[in-house]
Structure 1
Amino acid sequence: MSIDVAQHILDALTDVDMPRLKPERAPFEAANLAGIAVPVYRAGCVVVGSGAAGLRAAVELKRRGDDVMILSQSAWGGTSACSGSDKQTLHTANTADQGDNYKAMARAIRAGGAMDEDTAYVEAVGSGRMMASLQYLGLPLPQDPLGGTLRYQTDHDEVGRATSCGPRTSRLMVKVLAEEAIRLDVPFYNHTTAVQILTEGAQEARRVVGVVAIRAHDRTEANPLGIAVFASDVVVLAAGGPGELYRDSVYPNGCFGSLGIALEAGLELVNLTESQFGIGTRREGFPWNLSGTYVQAMPHIYSVDAEGREHHFLANYYRSTQELASNVFRKGYQWPFHSTRMLDFGSSLVDLAIYRETTAGRRVFMDFSRNPLPVTGDLPFDLGRLDDDVMAYLNNAGAGQTLPIDRLRHMNPLAIELYRRYKIDIATAPLEFAVNNQHMNGGIRVDTWGRSSLTGCYAVGEAAGTHGVTRPGGAALNAGQVFGTRAAEHISASGRARTAAAGGIAEIAEAGVRGILSVLKDDSPFNAKSVREDVQARMSDKAGLICDGENVREALSAARSLNADIRRSGITCGRAAEAARALQWRHMALASEAVLSALDIYISKGGGSRGARAICDRAGMALPMGRDGPLEEFRFREESVSDRQQQIVVRLNGETLEISTRPNRTFDETSRSFFERDWPAWLTGRIYDLGGR
């Protein structure tokens, strides 16, 4: 039996057309800054980024009567609009069965450690509201006949809090939120790259007063780079994560995030040691995560060497065909690499094996026309001879078809249709893939309202460092919606974004423009291409899922030297149209040093393997085993449980990155609200803590 889904339904969930933007509004005024005629735009709040989190913040602000505008490097071109997986997940409280316990959900979200307990509860208790509001806007989340939302299990999720519209879930979220923002007449400024945060004041009194951006639309003879100033007393950073940080990455091309400009503005960042790595197709073609039903269909995975010979390499790691196939299946809901899953012949041994093949120069493929080949000396693949959890899932799904492509077509025809849109027919040709960087769990340090360490500056979505070491699959989409709303509520309660900023910032803006011009030097030996190659090779080769203290130290030293050279010699852009990209690579070089600095401190103080990385160490007590014995090269340190109780903080002070730690904020699960006692705090706005930080 196969699921028969009409083509027009597949089309609607795969080819998601985005709305057209309205014409841009003219600048308020022009200013002569450093000899350049610079347009000045003004708003109550500037949202940097047009992904799902940024759109949510803008929509919620506009609904509350605030003056808000959106700056976008490329509308509908970021991670939210262009990334996904087999059935991209939105992680929310389970309402389909017996309901959910928000405190239990919060414990699951923060289970990996290094996450504030109150933040986890905020994400849990806010999840139902976020899902309902997205459904109200038209997000087609699947339901059963009685109105319950259909659910499934995802990574780091033992309860089944995941739901999905299919591979394009986050793009559909962007679509419905963008349509609402346009309906509410929120101004968009597209092809606008924020390159500097403007501030005034010193130390605790510092506050944001706007951003400097580069816009193709504003390039003139008197302003050849297209520099523009956006004056605002409130800025929401929502430009996503540092997707360009790694060469081996499943991010869409051109995703730089906000970490570099946040560091330059003196904001505190946390948990930069924490990322996610997992299998996906390479960004040179169509970057996409290969989680869920792609691997639950259990295709044959093999590598090809330079002479074109096939290698059944997984057979060197697993002891039986059953064990091999069952762990390929488990990559569906254990998609992120995790060091502990390399032990006891677990599912991350698949990631390690793929990593070793690609490091050796071999190309890795999955073939949906073949079942997994047998392990030498063992019986062939058989659907009746799999681990109990695998057989139970396949039986419940009715996925007893003979071949992987037929099992995939039955469980998720959209997964096949998606690749077809990019001229890749996985029904007839093998699919090349690798282990890639996928998500930054760290980012800008924020409180439970999304406030950063800089007054007036908020961070939401992947720009915010709220996730800790591990997170359930899809929790990031929920977090962006929850904190986009929370930030908007707080900003609106403060009254600071009610009208467009009116203060004069010419002196501050001129200093900012001069600083930008000082970085762009025609005679610099560095350009965007050379910095990109340097940064990406170093991060992928020395600070990926497998690393060690010596390599990280060497990488940090090289990263420091690169940044010192850029400070001294600048970076050239060749032509005006490349100025924004050159500055973004300057920011990415800085973000790279910050990540390596945090990782070096963590390792040097005895930090062990957790989350994204295995910290290899000859004295480590954890040793992965392969079919033929111990994999001594990958002996690794075990995690220190005490490290889960704190976060590593990074801040740029002058030219020096300062590293410190802070304990996780706690949440008292025994506390109980009482309506009459607590209602006044809501009525008077005391819940927003407007006087504190």
Structure 2
Amino acid sequence: MSDLRDLAGRPVIIGGGVAGLMTALELAPEPVVLLSAAPLGSGASSALAQGGLAASVGLDDSPARHVADTLAAGDGLCDEAVVKRIVEAAPEAIEKLERLGVVFDRTPGGRLHLGLEAAHGRRRIVHAAGAATGSELMRALMAAVRVTPSITIVEGFEARRLVVEDGAIAGVLAEGRTEHVTLATASVVLATGGVGELFQDTTNPLGCFGQGLALAARAGAELADLEFVQFHPTALDGAQRPMPLISEAVRGEGAVLIDEAGRRFLADLPGAELATRDAVARGVFRHLARGHRVFIDARQCIGQAFASRFPAIEAFCREAGIDPEIQPIPVRPAAHYHMGGVAVDAEGRSSVFGLWACGEVASTGLHGANRLASNSLTEAVVTASWAAKSVGGATAGSRKIPAETTMPARSDPTLARNIVSHAMGILRDGDGLRNAAAAFRPLAAGSSAAADPAVVGLMMVVSALHRKESRGAHCRTDFPLRDVVARRSKVTLGSILETAAELDATPLARSA
């Protein structure tokens, strides 16, 4: 195993999406390493993001209104102080992105064009290129990163383990196509995205199976709220993976959900098509389970303006043989965003000294039990700045890495995907979760390619099993009511393994 000696001691940022790129830019001119498993611009969920950035910049809006909508969507589990801090920083984040070269959509009068999405009381969604905001953000941020001399980009290397010595980060073990490397560092920032690849139906790109969670968990970090997975209710119903997303902005412009008979089956749901995502996803899921098909119908509200308003969506619809101007678009729910993640403080620090996290891999307390639409890109940009300041203020350098370090096998989430998809879907129950935990335990304890995905899956299903209520995106058919007292869940890999061992001794688990 070789060392990249010239990079020793620099902070290492793992992940090449918006959160990782922004953290690297915020750390400039401090020398940093940006480690990306895929070439920049591919493999990150950020590039696929169609929703925009939520920010209270409209004349009829205010941070207080944005806070209220976020807290309502989070169903009692948001950290209100964190919500206020991020929401109040959002308008400045938009300005910062524009200075970095992001071109946002504007009205003929020159003001930001603001969209409406589910559970927002005002138009506050700042978009770029219609429904291609993530792509535009990535274009501008990648360009800025590539011309910043202090940022060393290491592409094609996947982080496999964090080296921890005496309770602190000492380095990163990574593997490329032809070689293993050791990056000696005392500071690591995880910006690795979500867990969508653990589900059969997902909008996330391949590779997003929770690798950052496995890295953090094996390093001893505390994780929070892993049971909360948001399913987007309107992914294009087809064979393509990741599933193209029919942005919530389409419904924000008046599109409705209908079935094969043309019936608007969610008309009686409070908020109808613009109710919270968990409510709409469950409504669509149940209608599909009854044998119906579900479509987004934009013919009346958008019609011939669809191509100009949503060019990216129009393009992939036509690739699938659908003309959204004159045809309804077939949709179904898909795993989209993970509200849980590495538990971090107000500066992005984890419970392990020298380890930070930001973006989807982190659990800041902003999203609670159900993310408010378009708060995630805003969170990534804002918290990247906080994490960078904290990393920049920490003691730089590296620690000695043990001579004998074993590189784990390259991960394959196939086995975990089958288990997670059945146990951790839109509707869950105790029997399914216990059986999943029993199936995951030997995989997680092993050293095969299934081990890291199984670790993530095990932590998720045990967290879901412990939450004996239905709240936000977590819906238990055997515990359909919401507890009076809201509580966040905090776990470590050690505590999860102990619980899994106890579950494995139960008759139900032994017979699974």
TM bucket, shorter chain: 0.7 to 0.9
Cα shift at 1:208: 0.9
Aligned to 1:666: none
| 2:369 is the counterpart of 1:469 | yes
Query: Measured at CA, do residues 469 and 365 of structure 1 come closer, stay the same or move farther in structure 2, by a change above 3 Å?
Result: closer
1:370-519 equivalent positions in 2, closer than 5 A:
394=301, 399=302, 405-406=303-304, 408-409=306-307, 412-420=310-318, 422=319, 424-427=321-324, 432-466=330-364, 467-494=367-394, 496-497=395-396, 501=397, 503=399, 505-507=400-402, 510-511=403-404, 513-514=405-406, 516=407
Alignment counterpart, residue 56 of structure 1, candidates 4, 17, 22: 22
**1:650 lines up with 2:511 in the alignment:** no
Which of 201, 213, 216 pairs up with 1:259? 213
Query: Residue type matched to 1:638 in 2?
Result: L
The residue type equivalent to 1:169 in the other structure is T
Which whole-Å CA distance do the structure 1 matches of 2:341 and 2:113 have between them?
A: 32
Shift of 1:294: 4.5
In the TM superposition, what is the alpha-carbon distance from 1:106 to its structure 2 partner? 2.8
- Name the residue aligned to 2:34: 70
Structure 1 counterpart of 2:148, which letter?
L
Quickly say closer, same or farther: Cα 1:538–1:327, change in 2 above 3 A.
Answer: farther
In 1, distance between residues paired with 2:411 and 2:188?
27
Of 126, 134, 152, the residue aligned with 1:170 is: 134
Q: Which amino acid aligns with 2:59?
A: D
1:348-393 CA-to-partner distances (Å, cap 9, x unmatched) read 4233212454xxxx8x464869x7xxxxxxxxxxx7xxxxxxxxxx
Separation (CA, whole Å) in 2 of partners of 1:655 and 1:547: 19
| Residue pair 1:242, 1:255 contacting (<8 A) in 2 also | yes
Give the AA of the match of 1:209: A
Shift of residue 175, structure 1, vs aligned partner: 1.4
SS in 2 for 1:615: coil
Given residue 466 of structure 2, which amino acid in structure 1 is its aligned partner? I
Amino acid at match of 1:416: E
Shift of 1:51: 0.3
Match in the other structure for 1:47:
13
Q: How large is the Cα RMSD of the aligned pairs?
A: 3.0
Secondary structure (helix, strand or coil) at the match of 2:25 reads: helix
> How far 1:254 moved relative to its partner?
2.0
Q: Deviations over 1:270-298 (max 9, x none)?
A: 01111101231356345222233545434
Match of 1:182 in 2: 146
Tell me, yes or no, if the aligned pair for 1:118 and 1:448 is still in contact at 8 Å: no
Equivalent residues of 2:47, 2:138 under 8 A apart: no
Is the contact between residue 419 and residue 425 of structure 1 (CA under 8 Å) also seen in structure 2? Answer: yes
The verdict on how the C-alpha distance between 1:556 and 1:488 changes in structure 2, with shifts beyond 3 A counting, is same
Instruction: Tell me how far apart the structure 2 counterparts of residues 286 and 248 of structure 1 sit (CA, whole Å).
Output: 8
Answer yes or no: is the 8 Å Cα contact 2:170–2:401 preserved in 1.
no
Distance apart, 1:332 and its partner CA: 5.3
Residue 70 of structure 1 and its aligned partner are, at CA, apart by: 0.2
Q: Is the 8 A contact 1:38 1:229 kept in 2?
A: yes
Distance 2:308 2:176 in 1: 47
1:46-195 equivalences under 5 Å are 46-62=12-28, 65-74=29-38, 75-85=40-50, 88-93=51-56, 95-100=57-62, 102-111=63-72, 112=74, 113-144=76-107, 147-165=110-128, 166-185=130-149, 186-195=151-160
User: Is structure 2 residue 426 aligned with structure 1 residue 545?
Assistant: yes
Deviations 1:135-184 (A, max 9, x none): 11221212335543222321231233212112210121111111111111
Deviation at 1:97, TM superposition (A): 1.0
- Give, in angstroms, the shift of residue 188 of structure 1: 0.5
Distance 1:159 1:236 in 2: 34
Number of positions where the alignment pairs a residue of Structure 1 with one of Structure 2? 486
Give the drift of 1:81: 4.2
Gap change, CA 1:483 and 1:150, over 3 Å in 2:
same
Specify whether residues 490 and 592 from structure 1 end up closer, same or farther in structure 2 by C-alpha distance, changes over 3 A only. Answer: same
The alpha-carbon deviation at position 37 of structure 1 amounts to 4.5
CA displacement, residues 434-493 of structure 1 (integer Å, 9 cap, x when unaligned): 221111001000011111111111100001012211222110000000110111112223
Q: Unaligned regions of 5+ residues in structure 1, if any?
A: 1-35, 220-225, 303-311, 316-320, 342-346, 372-382, 384-393, 400-404, 521-526, 572-581, 618-635, 660-693
Matched, 1:536 2:498: no
Residues 220, 492 of structure 2: 8 Å contact kept = yes
**SS at structure 1 position matched to 2:277:** coil
**In structure 2, C-alpha distance between the alignment counterparts of 1:172 and 1:650, rounded to whole Å:** 36
Worse overlay, 593-602 or 292-301: 292-301
TM-score by length of 1: 0.65
1:563 aligns with 2:444: yes
Paired residue for 1:631?
Answer: none
Deviation at 1:561, TM superposition (A): 3.3
Aligned runs of 1:318-357 on 2, under 5 Å? 321=263, 323-324=264-265, 326=267, 333-334=274-275, 336-338=277-279, 348-357=282-291
Q: SS state of the match for residue 653, structure 1? A: helix
How far is the alpha carbon of 1:110 from its aligned partner? Answer: 3.0
| Superposed CA offset, 1:642-677 (max 9, x none) | 12xx21001022883579xxxxxxxxxxxxxxxxxx
Please tell me whether the aligned partners of residues 21 and 142 of structure 2 are also in contact (alpha carbons under 8 angstroms).
Answer: yes
CA contact (8 A) 1:337 1:351 kept: no
Q: Distance in 1 between the 2:398 and 2:428 partners?
A: 50
Give the structure 2 partner of residue 610 of structure 1.
471
Aligned with residue 208 of structure 1, among 169, 172, 180: 169
Residues 114 and 330 of structure 1, relative CA distance in 2, 3 Å threshold? closer
> Alpha-carbon deviation of 1:595?
0.5
Between the aligned partners of 1:327 and 1:290, the Cα distance in structure 2 is: 22
User: Is 1:327–1:350's contact at 8 Å kept on the other side of the alignment?
Assistant: no
> 1:542: Cα distance to partner?
1.8
Secondary structure in structure 2 of the residue aligned to 1:280: strand
- Kindly indicate whether the alpha-carbon contact (under 8 Å) linking 1:546 and 1:614 is maintained by their aligned counterparts in 2: yes
Match of 1:227 among 180, 197, 201: 180
Aligned 1:534-683 pairs, distance under 5 A: 534-564=415-445, 566=446, 570-571=447-448, 582=449, 585-603=450-468, 608-617=469-478, 637-643=480-486, 646-653=487-494, 656=497
Structure possessing the higher radius of gyration over alpha carbons: 1
Which amino acid counterpart does residue 443 of structure 1 have in structure 2?
G
Write the distance in 1 (CA, Å) between the matches of 2:420 and 2:217: 18
3-state SS in 2 of match to 1:187: strand
- Give, in whole Å, the separation in 2 of the partners of 1:103 and 1:431: 36
Question: What is aligned with 1:388?
Answer: none
- What's the CA shift for 1:414? 4.5
Q: Distance in 1 between matches of 2:308 and 2:275?
A: 21
- Cα separation, 2, equivalents of 1:559 and 1:325: 37
Post-superposition shift, 1:246?
1.2
User: For 2:15 and 2:153, how far apart are their aligned partners in 1?
Assistant: 10
Match for 1:251: what amino acid?
N
> 1:426–1:43: structure 2 CA closer, same or farther, 3 Å change rule?
farther
Alpha-carbon distance between aligned partners in 2 of 1:66 and 1:331, rounded to the nearest angstrom: 49
Counterpart of 1:114 in structure 2: which amino acid?
Answer: L
Change (3 A) 1:285 1:549: closer
Aligned counterpart in structure 2 of residue 198 of structure 1, from 144, 151, 163? 163
